Amino acid sequence: MKQKIEDIMGIEPLSELGLKFVGIGADKAVFETSGSNRKLVKVSMDILRKRIFDMLHDRTPERNERESLQKSRISEQKKYEEDVAEAFGQEHLLRKGVFRAKIPLTKEILLKLVDENEAHLVESLADDEVFNVEMIVETQLVAEELRNREMFKTKSFNTSLITDDGFRNATDVTDALARVRQVVKSNFLRDCDESFEDEKYKTVVKEIVEKIIAYSKKTGRMIDIFGGDNITIFEKEDGSLDYHLLDVILPGSQKAWEENIKDDDGLHLLRHYYTFYYSISTLADKLGISDNLEMEDMVYFKGGEIPTGKFPEVDDLRRHMMKKQ
């Protein structure tokens, strides 16, 4: 996807927008603007693909319906941001904004973005026509610590998801969750143990974990700790440590995330929920945080057909799965 975006940004009319592509996370492509070196523009590739799909299949909603959906989405995002700011403090968030924009796409650009099974739909379009796809775009102030990592001595507080076939090919939920724990232990928690030799770093991580737990207990939702630099810890000029939450709200509607776990036969969504829960709850135990995160605190686990209560050991999970069978 990174290479695709780099390619299409050199094609007119996108090349005329004055945007410089700087990277992509799990979902959002990030651009610098020619008008300001202090602001980033973020575009959700998932939403863009959905808009393209609707356009190609003549499913574009009526203008009033589209505007209503966009307003609802903007309102939803603002509410999530307000909840995060309340839990962590506004000083730890870089100022953000959302607005509606029209992204100009041509047949040449679309052919680089769509899947093979949709290419024939694009081929039928006129070569010289420009298709303006309307969607929500985000802005965010630039994190100065990421521009000069050596000066600020940055560290990313994040844990990886299991995205390879080994997770998707798990025989059952017991096997899948055991794989999650192995990955978290061998990567995220091990790295934390090594970093905790620095007491200043350990203190900051404890503050972050306590606030993540408070946020999840209040809202039932996760913080997105799965992308590099989503939460960035850095050293200030006076030698003290601080942190910024750069991109911690999960993409898409949270309501859809809550509901879809019930039909998550491939366990694709479960890996997010369980990796988050296991990472944070185990780390809280290491840090001596008494008010720890419980599965029941998170809306994703309610009615999700997986054990709740005390963190399930492998034998407990196996017994649970045998009862279901």
pLDDT at site 280:
95
- Choosing from 112, 142, 172, the residue where a domain stops is 142
Tell me 158's DSSP state.
-
Looking at the fold, whether 133 and 264 belong to one and the same domain comes out as no
Looking at the fold, whether 78 and 226 belong to one and the same domain comes out as no
Looking at the fold, whether 201 and 109 belong to one and the same domain comes out as no
Looking at the fold, whether 189 and 288 belong to one and the same domain comes out as yes
Q: Are 96 and 142 in contact (CB under 8 A)?
A: no
Say how far residue 90 (Cα) sits from the centre of its chain: 20
Looking at the fold, whether 310 and 164 belong to one and the same domain comes out as yes
Looking at the fold, whether 176 and 275 belong to one and the same domain comes out as yes
Parent domain of 284: 147-324
- Choosing from 83, 117, 142, the residue where a domain stops is 142
Looking at the fold, whether 41 and 115 belong to one and the same domain comes out as yes
pLDDT at site 253:
62
- pLDDT tens digits for the chain (325 residues)? 888 899 999 999 999 998 999 888 667 888 988 777 778 898 988 888 888 988 888 765 565 666 676 677 777 778 888 999 999 999 999 877 878 889 999 999 999 999 888 899 999 999 889 999 988 888 888 888 888 888 899 999 998 887 666 676 777 777 777 888 888 888 899 999 999 999 999 999 999 999 999 999 998 888 999 888 889 999 998 999 999 998 888 766 666 666 666 666 666 677 788 889 999 999 999 999 999 998 888 877 665 555 555 545 555 555 655 655 5
CB-neighbour burial class of residue 40 (10 A; exposed 0-12, middle 13-18, buried 19+): buried
Q: How many domains does the chain have?
A: 2
Looking at the fold, whether 249 and 121 belong to one and the same domain comes out as no
Distance CA 234, CA 155 (A): 6
Provide the edge-to-edge strand list for the sheet that holds 96-105.
19-24, 28-33, 36-44, 131-141, 96-105
Q: Nearest-CA neighbor of 37 among 141, 150, 138, 146?
A: 141
Q: What is the pTM of this model?
A: 0.78
Which residue type sits at 180? V
pLDDT at site 257:
66
CB proximity list for 30: less than 8 A, separation 6 or greater? 21, 22, 23, 24, 40, 41, 42
Distance CA 301, CA 310 (A): 13
